[in-house]
A and B are shown apart, each in its own frame.
Chain A
Amino acid sequence: MSLTPQDIQAIILSLKVATAATLLSLPFGFAAAYLLVFTRIPGRAVLEGVVNLPLVLPPVVVGYLLLLLFGQSGSLGPVLRFFDLRIIFTLKGAVIASAVVGFPLLVRSIRIGMEGIDEQYLQAARTLGARWWDSLYSVILPLSGRAVLAGMTLMFARSLGEFGATIILAGNIPGITQTIPLAIYEYTNTPGGDSMALSLCLVSIGLSFLVLLVSEASARSFRRR
């Protein structure tokens, strides 16, 4: 098994994209889960639908919708031009694609954890003098910690494998937006690229396994505390 410099680049890019997408989504995912579990805001059903949509849509459709949104002539085009930002065919695009596709997994996990928190813990906290953000920080966050971790793991793993939305929004540019799945795709389209594809597949399997191990270990340390 040998990896070309281009393969190494793809691996690093994959890790970068997955990490960035997971970390960027985390606050939003936590907030969305909180809104869905602990509040009775109007439009809750709509929020729930929007959050879950990328889970049921084909990633290619998500990618195409994102292209319509972020493209030069897209709905956000003028705003992007104003700030001199380019999303499509850049690393940012790959991160956004991964973030959107992985988001429902993150929210789902956190939500399940939050639903397991007895509301009376919050009521107890409030009557003991905690403001709502205080109870969020001192009760909800620690009690849903494991679920947050599980959600992050799922999302990270999903981002490592993101293909459909990424190739449409960010393209397949070696060194810029070519992540592991895109590199594998390119190898399989190249005559004689099979063994190269296999090497990257092995790397991919190894990475996924590592993610699972790390998540198990940290969940265990969480439980011990």
Chain B
Amino acid sequence: MLFEVDVTKRVGNFSLRVDFSLAEKKCGIFGPSGSGKSTFMHILAGLLKPDRGRIVLDGQIHYDGEKKISLPPQERRIGVVFQHAHLFPHMNVRRNLFYGWKRTPPDQRRGTPEAIITVLGLEHLLERGVNSLSGGERQRVALGRTVLACPRLILMDEPLTGLDQELKFQIIPYLRTVLDQFEIPLLFISHSMEEIRLMTDEVLVFGQGRLQERLAVEDLARRGLVAGNRGYANLFHLPPPQPHDDLWAYRWGGTELILTEPGGEGENVFELGAKDITLFKQHPVATSARNLLACRVTDVFGEGNRIGVELACNGGSLISQVVPEAIRELDLRKGAEVVAVIKASAFHRLY
């Protein structure tokens, strides 16, 4: 996919000016509310006309201010998943799901409705009215409806914002599976760092109607450790665990992690705060913590009294947050050998 965008739009006092080109499969748009994310999404989907500029997707001109070209939304084939699912209230789940599919020319259809319905776990909901669905179910139906319209790109406008934490993490695996399985590129709009990290690889950072920065998701996450009080969370994608006495052992790179939390079938995602990793110069004689990982320091970053230490341990990578005094006392620098100590209960299961 190659998506080239260069647009300008004024709405009242607010002006939006964005210029970028995108080849990545999964890209996030990150920014506070009022930064123009949604306006931008409407422009991309063809629901709002920019004042001038150009939008080209894989060589097809969607908008060209000079040539006076502006494709209507239905010809752009850009799917949108809205914050509030916006399922058609007068149709049942099945008719909602097939709305886009029926309007897609047969030669442009990909996948089969059955496959998508199965992946999203919607079989038992098909004949239900949409008003009786829970928030999570609604969002899954909305996603299925959009995927079934066989879009060339999916825009998601804060699709998880209205949902509680638990539901959110129930839906993310569905989102990831569907997008990977049907190979649809994604532009994911959110103001949640966690969602952006779980869904995308690269981020466009919006602020005051401008594209301020473009960077890898990991770099943006690390910035949270240095600036602001967000901190940094290590994310672990772990396979199903083995029982380990009354705890659970998960394979992680070439080593094993001991956790209190049981996992499920398939991928398990855990979060571990950078503050919850303690560093020791030598292997401690005895400790109550269950995870002692021999690591090498690969990077030290940050400023002021917030310092991040990047660690490589047997095929995995970790970030620990420490204070400058600790850096001096333990002589933490690139190449130094340390032991990272993590309590089994410090891991928080996301899904």
Give A contacts to B, CB under 8 Å: 118, 120-121, 123-132, 134, 138-139, 142-143, 225
B67-94 interface code vs A (CB 8 A; 1 in, 0 out): 0000011100111101010101110000
Near A by CB (< 8 A), chain B positions 81-121 give 82, 84, 86, 88-90, 99-100, 103-104
Q: Is the Cβ of B84 less than 8 Å from the Cβ of A120?
A: yes
The contact sample of 11 A-B pairs, CB cut-off 8 A, is A120-B84, A121-B88, A123-B82, A126-B46, A126-B72, A127-B45, A127-B47, A127-B146, A128-B145, A131-B72, A134-B103
Interface centre among A118, A126, A127, A139 (most CB of B within 10 A): A127
Q: For the complex, is B149 an interface residue (Cβ under 8 Å from A)?
A: yes
Contacts of A126 in B (CB 8 A): 46-47, 72-74
In whole angstroms, how far apart are the Cα atoms of A131 and B149 in the complex?
A: 14
B59 CB to closest chain A CB (Å) equals 20
Q: Is the Cβ of A124 less than 8 Å from the Cβ of B103?
A: no
In whole angstroms, how far apart are the Cα atoms of A131 and B77 in the complex?
A: 12
B84 CB to closest chain A CB (Å) equals 7
Q: Is the Cβ of A129 less than 8 Å from the Cβ of B100?
A: yes
**Nearest-CB residue, chain B, relative to A126:** B73
Contacts of B73 in A (CB 8 A): 123, 126-127
**Nearest-CB residue, chain B, relative to A145:** B90
The 7 lowest CB-CB distance pairs between A and B, nearest first, are: A128-B100, A129-B103, A126-B73, A127-B80, A142-B90, A124-B86, A128-B149
In whole angstroms, how far apart are the Cα atoms of A177 and B151 in the complex?
A: 59
In whole angstroms, how far apart are the Cα atoms of A130 and B104 in the complex?
A: 9
Interface centre among A121, A124, A143 (most CB of B within 10 A): A124
B151 CB to closest chain A CB (Å) equals 8
In whole angstroms, how far apart are the Cα atoms of A131 and B80 in the complex?
A: 16
Within the complex, which residue of A131, A132, A139, A225 is in contact with B88, where a contact is CB–CB below 8 Å? A139
Near A by CB (< 8 A), chain B positions 48-79 give 72-74, 77-79
Within the complex, which residue of B47, B77, B145 is in contact with A123, where a contact is CB–CB below 8 Å? B47
Give B contacts to A, CB under 8 Å: 42, 45-47, 72-74, 77-80, 82, 84, 86, 88-90, 99-100, 103-104, 145-146, 149, 151
Number of A-B contacts (CB under 8 A): 63
Contacts of A143 in B (CB 8 A): 89-90
Q: Is the Cβ of A128 less than 8 Å from the Cβ of B103?
A: yes
**Nearest-CB residue, chain B, relative to A120:** B86
Q: Is the Cβ of B74 less than 8 Å from the Cβ of A129?
A: yes
In whole angstroms, how far apart are the Cα atoms of A131 and B71 in the complex?
A: 12
A39 CB to closest chain B CB (Å) equals 14
In whole angstroms, how far apart are the Cα atoms of A124 and B90 in the complex?
A: 14
Name A's interface SS.
Answer: helix
Contacts of B88 in A (CB 8 A): 121, 124-125, 139
Q: Is the Cβ of B146 less than 8 Å from the Cβ of A128?
A: yes
Q: Is the Cβ of B103 less than 8 Å from the Cβ of A127?
A: no
Contacts of A225 in B (CB 8 A): 90
Contacts of B149 in A (CB 8 A): 127-129
Kindly list 12 other residue pairs between chains A and B, CB separation below 8 angstroms, not including A120-B84, A127-B79, A143-B90: A123-B82, A123-B86, A125-B88, A127-B45, A127-B78, A128-B149, A130-B74, A130-B99, A130-B103, A131-B74, A132-B72, A142-B90
Q: Is the Cβ of A125 less than 8 Å from the Cβ of B99?
A: yes
A218 CB to closest chain B CB (Å) equals 16
In whole angstroms, how far apart are the Cα atoms of A127 and B149 in the complex?
A: 9
B114 CB to closest chain A CB (Å) equals 19
In whole angstroms, how far apart are the Cα atoms of A140 and B245 in the complex?
A: 61
**Nearest-CB residue, chain A, relative to B80:** A127
B186 CB to closest chain A CB (Å) equals 15
B253 CB to closest chain A CB (Å) equals 42
Contacts of A130 in B (CB 8 A): 74, 99, 103
In whole angstroms, how far apart are the Cα atoms of A225 and B103 in the complex?
A: 23
Q: Is the Cβ of B90 less than 8 Å from the Cβ of A120?
A: no
In whole angstroms, how far apart are the Cα atoms of A142 and B72 in the complex?
A: 23
In whole angstroms, how far apart are the Cα atoms of A129 and B104 in the complex?
A: 7
**Nearest-CB residue, chain A, relative to B48:** A123
Within the complex, which residue of A121, A124, A138 is in contact with B80, where a contact is CB–CB below 8 Å? A124
Contacts of B78 in A (CB 8 A): 127
Given contact pairs A120-B86, A139-B88, A129 touches B47 in the complex (Cβ within 8 A): no
Contacts of B42 in A (CB 8 A): 123
Q: Is the Cβ of A123 less than 8 Å from the Cβ of B103?
A: no
Contacts of A132 in B (CB 8 A): 72
Contacts of A131 in B (CB 8 A): 72, 74
In whole angstroms, how far apart are the Cα atoms of A40 and B348 in the complex?
A: 51
Interface centre among B72, B74, B104 (most CB of A within 10 A): B74
In whole angstroms, how far apart are the Cα atoms of A126 and B149 in the complex?
A: 11
In whole angstroms, how far apart are the Cα atoms of A187 and B182 in the complex?
A: 77
Contacts of A124 in B (CB 8 A): 80, 82, 86, 88
A123 CB to closest chain B CB (Å) equals 5
